[in-house]
Amino acid sequence: MIDDGKIVALFASPERAPDEAFVARIERAVRAESRVAAARRTAWRRFAVECAASAAILAVFDLLWRLRPDELALAQLPFAPAAAAAVLVLGLWFAVEMRPAATGR
């Protein structure tokens, strides 16, 4: 008959040192995930600020369109000149804003 000490010794896992490479990989993964999360928060914050600024620009141009003198015959145009100017300004702004993202900065 086999005693309990022998059974425990047979099925026990061998003692081994901690896997330093595994620990280092996990630490790098955690640091990378925290950097990605910080970058994601920054990107969403910047997106919200740019949306608010775009809405402000559109509101100003809409207000300018509504405050125009009535004798201007621009109401016959299919689009408001102020709206066209707003779209032009926003287009230029987005072109300038997106350029750093395209270069990797």
- Domain coordinates of the chain in residue numbers? 17-103
User: 64, 81 in Cβ contact below 8 A?
Assistant: no
Tokens of 98: 């997106």
pTM: 0.52
The dihedral sign for the CA sequence 44, 49, 54, 59: positive
Please tell me the predicted confidence (pLDDT) of residue 12. Answer: 77
pLDDT along the chain (105 residues), means of 10: 72 80 94 94 87 82 73 60 75 72 54
**pLDDT value, residue 88:** 80
Q: Which pLDDT value is given to residue 78?
A: 56
Q: What is the pLDDT of residue 104?
A: 55
pLDDT value, residue 75? 57
